[in-house]
Amino acid sequence: MPAYDDLNVQDRKDQIKHTRNAKKRIKALSTRLIARSSYETTREAISDLENMRSVQNFLNSYAGEDKDGEGNPRQRGSITRNRNKLLRMLAKIVTGEATFNEIEDELTVVADKGFEFKTLSEPQQSLREALSVDIRQFLPRNLVLNVDKAGQVSGVTERVGNQIRSLKHKHSILVQTIGKYNTMLTDIKKELSSAVDEKSTLNPLLTIIMLETGIRVGGGRPGKTIKRLKDGSEVEVITYGLTELRPSHIKFLKTSDLEIKVHGKYGKEMLYNLSDREVISALKPYMVKATADAGMGLGNPSTEPKIFTGLNGWNYTYSKLNLYIDKKYKQYGMKPHDFRMLYANRRLFAMMSEQQEQLHEEVKALVDAGTQNIQEEVATRVTTFINDAIRSVADDLHHSDMGSAIDYYITPNFVLNFLNQGYIVNNIEDAVKQGYKTVSFDIQKFIDVANLFGTDSYPLRRATDLSQLLQSMDDEMGEVMGEVMGGVDLESLLNEMDDEMGKVASPLFRQMRRDNIEREDSKKKSL
């Protein structure tokens, strides 16, 4: 069980107090306003109330104000919407359109958000000084830099975050697991192939699907959400996670692959693909049974049985999967949700790694061309590069906007170090672990790295000789080979092969050299 984050615990206590005071204030304020004025409509009340100093002070105190959004570029619009919601709630009470009890739940949400805006304003001053608004949009909205007296970054934390699953805790999980993905996958597949009952089959089966697709695990039962259509109308849709899948959600393709199509948490249609034959083979019996059990109800997910139900009547639930993950990955403190986080960060790293050479090539072209306003041009390209990478990950997670992916899944390390040094290191494990003494967007670093593009000094140059290639193979395959060969790493194996080949090859080369010398001597004598 991870430790509680003391700062976030205190933040939550203060947030509860803030929201409690907001409820007291809206009762007292509405009572005074009712006694003073009479409005025929809520719109009329809003138009009048928003110009009152007492109302503005109330909104500033409990919903947030413009200056609170300076450190939260993605939240400036949210602050305005939050203020408008609180103003409308007050107007409804004043006009009698709604009672306090009817708006209390919404008021709690608005006041909680207002507390977050106001709490983050001052601690994020260091972040505002270090990075522009355009760059801060790629970082979690509640990110805070801890800066020591010497001006060096002593840590990156969050405020008003999850008390247990804090940024620090999630980053710890990534540090421990990100380089072990292949080992984890191999281990789970081995467990699946040796399964002898429902429990030993379904637990690893669902875990592999989470690892490979990043699909939302779900809470065990379908949810509901409102989806806005293109014509502006709204419809209610049923949402599903992995543990809630029905036969209609899965389609087997001619290529032996399968696709999973569901409405997710926010009503967006999501598509996932699986190509692993072992996984598909293990899934098929459950798909066949659920299809048969659906009978006449087949074709409508709401009337179909769950796929992941024991073939022999074993009642499989989300809690069983959660217990399995908790026990199997206890050393990491992982939960099913964290497999989605692991997937997101692997995808972001892959996107940035694959595309950064193209970015450096483009920047070098700008430099070589003597481009005017080179700093602005480079800044634009870097900003676009980060935006495209994160957008791609958000699309993979099927988020309607990048904010959720940034706030809940993606580690800020990749972006912060990329901005600070002009590139992201080749090894994903190193990229996650890498710390930073300063936080800045150093445009000159990108120019310096780009100028080295194509040279031996380029920090991301590809392997140019056999030793570099073998070292790269060792970095990528070390963990997997270690599992297969009982701890023997690839480098050691290659060295042994080299020694053995040398023993065989050396006599041959010596004999070839003697033969060549004899031929040359024979030619000289004939002349």
Q: Is the pTM of this model over 0.85?
A: no
Are 443 and 500 members of one domain? no
Are 311 and 368 members of one domain? no
Domain termination site, one of 122, 157, 182: 122
CA 139 – CA 491 distance, rounded (Å):
38
Pull the structure tokens for residue 515.
């033969």
Q: Which of 244, 289, 285 is nearest to 263 (CA)?
A: 244
Are 446 and 505 members of one domain? no
pLDDT at 494: 47
Domain termination site, one of 334, 360, 387: 334
Please list, in sequence order, all residues whose beta carbon lies within 8 angstroms of the beta carbon of residue 166, skipping any fewer than 6 positions away.
5, 8, 157, 158
CA 122 – CA 74 distance, rounded (Å):
17
- Measured N-to-C along each axis, helices 443-451 and 413-421 cross at an angle, to the nearest 10 degrees, of 70
Q: Which of 260, 410, 274 is nearest to 346 (CA)?
A: 410
Are 370 and 325 members of one domain? no
Tell whether 499 is covered by a domain.
yes
Q: Which residues of 438-457 are buried (b: 16+ CB within 10 A; e: fewer)?
A: ebbbebebbbebbbbbeeee
| Main-chain dihedrals φ then ψ at residue 171, nearest 5 degrees | -65, -35
Pull the structure tokens for residue 104.
């209390």
Tell whether 177 is covered by a domain.
no
Are 417 and 311 members of one domain? no
Q: Are the C-beta atoms of 208 and 185 separated by less than 8 Å?
A: yes
Domain termination site, one of 71, 104, 122: 122
Tell whether 184 is covered by a domain.
no
Tell whether 63 is covered by a domain.
yes
Are 222 and 327 members of one domain? yes
Tell whether 153 is covered by a domain.
no
Tell whether 166 is covered by a domain.
no
Are 328 and 351 members of one domain? no
Q: Are the C-beta atoms of 406 and 390 separated by less than 8 Å?
A: yes
Neighbouring CB atoms inside 10 A of 142's CB total: 22
pLDDT at 81: 93
Tell whether 228 is covered by a domain.
yes
Q: Are the C-beta atoms of 427 and 177 separated by less than 8 Å?
A: no
Q: Which residues of the chain have pLDDT under 50?
A: 463-469, 471-472, 475-476, 478-492, 494, 499-501, 503-506, 508-509, 527
Give, in order, the Cα–Cα distances in Å from 324 to each of 142, 190, 205, 335, 481. Answer: 32, 16, 12, 9, 26
Tally of domains within the chain: 4
Are 293 and 349 members of one domain? no
Q: Are the C-beta atoms of 87 and 46 separated by less than 8 Å?
A: yes
pLDDT at 25: 97
pLDDT at 269: 83
Are 257 and 372 members of one domain? no
pLDDT at 313: 75
Are 63 and 20 members of one domain? yes
Element (H, E) at 222: none
Are 492 and 394 members of one domain? no
CA 20 – CA 6 distance, rounded (Å):
21
Residue 520's domain spans which residues? 468-526
Are 199 and 320 members of one domain? yes
Tell whether 143 is covered by a domain.
no
| Main-chain dihedrals φ then ψ at residue 408, nearest 5 degrees | -115, -15
